[in-house]
């Protein structure tokens, strides 16, 4: 399938992402010489993050000087403060992988208009894979239209996640979540870049994704990719208004419903009653010896 007629704003975002990707690829040739600093324990930033972010912001504001910017490293200090158009930027998602030379990282750029994500670009510079999405026009990887996977049984599914790495993270809860998921899936993966994880759900490379502690710049672009590819994205309770809740789950519609039934009880946003009901339903199915939790397609099934 040929490329979509790209929206002008997507073209600018692609130009910005490729400029950042060129900087990242150049630095990856000699990653040992990259200067690294630690924002928090296990939370790294490199001179490459800063250079890539600068290149992205410069490209976007040259084209759209009246737009706002919300970026991982520089926050909201650039661009117009009161614009309805805000670019949400992660210049290098997967910095820890990058530092080690593991080629699983990407550039993530999204445009929010009045708080709703309308344009998205995720660029994997090591593979030269470009993911784009425009609200209402579908999602693409390079020239190929994306659709989420068609799998309907969780036991057949590959699910990606992210492990906690900050000292303040709730490791015990995450271990219980992973234990629940490992027993019911074909495999659990932790690639190390949430933005790319979401793009891979959109592409059908994985069937679902869940992670806590994520920021809007990690998930903004990827969330539009998933919905434009026919999937669902939200918090662990299934609420689509998740972007600033540090709780993200995505999947094809049938699998999303099953993820809610397993992860819902771990949501910070579920009521005590909902948590108990979900927990009882899961326990009943486990007692019956069923390998997967079967739930009808979630409300708002976006599949064709």
pLDDT tens, N- to C-terminus, the chain (304 residues): 445 557 899 999 999 999 999 999 999 999 888 888 876 655 678 899 999 999 999 999 999 999 999 999 999 999 999 999 999 999 999 999 999 999 999 999 999 999 999 999 999 999 999 999 999 999 999 999 999 999 999 999 999 999 877 666 678 888 999 999 999 999 999 999 999 999 999 999 999 999 999 999 999 999 999 999 999 999 999 999 999 898 999 999 999 999 999 999 999 887 655 555 544 544 444 444 333 333 333 333 333 3
pLDDT of residue 7: 84
Residue 293 lies in a domain: no
Residue 132 and residue 167 in one domain: no
Contact assessment for residue 69 and residue 89, using Cβ atoms and an 8 Å cutoff: yes
DSSP 270-283: S-HHHHHHHHHHHH
CA distance 146 to 28: 29
Contact assessment for residue 20 and residue 52, using Cβ atoms and an 8 Å cutoff: yes
Residue 304 lies in a domain: no
Q: Give residue 173's Cα distance to chain centre.
A: 21
Residue 125 and residue 158 in one domain: no
pLDDT of residue 304: 30
Residue 135 and residue 186 in one domain: no
Residue 208 lies in a domain: yes
Which CATH number does the domain housing residue 235 bear?
3.40.190.80
Question: Among 100, 125, 144, which residue terminates a domain?
Answer: 144
pLDDT of residue 187: 96
Residue 254 and residue 281 in one domain: yes
Residue 159 and residue 281 in one domain: yes
CB atoms within 10 A of CB 12: 22
Residue 302 lies in a domain: no
Residue 273 lies in a domain: yes
pLDDT of residue 45: 80
Q: How many residues does the chain have?
A: 304
Q: Which helix (H) or strand (E) holds 174?
A: helix 171-182
pLDDT of residue 167: 66
| Parent domain of 256 | 154-287
Residue 253 lies in a domain: yes
Which CATH number does the domain housing residue 62 bear?
3.30.540.10
Residue 210 and residue 134 in one domain: no
Q: How many domains does the chain have?
A: 2
pLDDT of residue 277: 55
CA distance 291 to 154: 9
3-state secondary structure of 229: coil
CA distance 123 to 259: 27
Residue 125 and residue 196 in one domain: no
Residue 298 lies in a domain: no
Residue 162 and residue 280 in one domain: yes
Contact assessment for residue 106 and residue 93, using Cβ atoms and an 8 Å cutoff: yes
Question: Among 119, 144, 169, which residue terminates a domain?
Answer: 144
pLDDT of residue 59: 98
Please state the φ and ψ torsions of residue 37, each to the nearest 5 degrees: -130, 165
Residue 138 lies in a domain: yes
CA distance 160 to 212: 12
């Amino acid at each position: 399938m040929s490329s979509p007629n790209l929206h002008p704003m997507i073209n600018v975002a692609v130009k910005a992402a490729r400029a950042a990707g060129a900087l990242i690829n150049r630095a990856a040739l000699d990653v040992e010489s990259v200067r690294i600093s630690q924002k928090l324990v296990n939370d790294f930033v490199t001179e490459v993050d800063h250079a890539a972010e600068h290149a992205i912001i410069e490209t976007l504001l040259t084209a759209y000087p009246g737009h706002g910017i919300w970026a991982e490293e520089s926050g909201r200090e650039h661009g117009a403060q009161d614009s309805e158009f805000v670019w949400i930027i992660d210049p290098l998602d997967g910095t820890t992988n990058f530092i080690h030379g593991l080629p699983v990282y990407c550039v993530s750029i999204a445009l929010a208009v009045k708080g709703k994500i309308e344009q998205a670009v995720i660029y994997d510079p090591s593979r030269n894979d470009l993911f784009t999405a425009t609200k209402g026009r579908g999602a693409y990887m390079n020239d190929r239209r994306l659709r989420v996977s068609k799998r309907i049984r969780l036991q057949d599914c590959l699910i990606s996640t992210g492990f906690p790495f900050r000292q303040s993270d709730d490791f015990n809860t995450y271990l219980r979540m992973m234990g629940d998921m490992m027993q019911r899936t074909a495999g659990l993966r932790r690639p190390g870049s949430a933005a790319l994880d979401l793009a891979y759900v959109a592409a059908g490379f994985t069937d679902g994704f869940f992670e806590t502690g994520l920021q809007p710049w990690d998930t903004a672009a990827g969330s539009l990719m998933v919905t434009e590819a026919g999937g669902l994205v939200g918090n662990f309770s299934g609420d689509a208004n998740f972007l600033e809740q540090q709780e993200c789950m995505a999947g094809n519609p049938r699998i999303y419903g099953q993820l809610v039934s397993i992860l819902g009880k771990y949501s910070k946003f579920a009521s005590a009653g909902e948590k108990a009901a979900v927990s009882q339903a899961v326990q009943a199915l486990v007692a019956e010896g069923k390998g997967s939790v079967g739930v009808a397609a979630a409300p708002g099934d976006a599949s064709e």
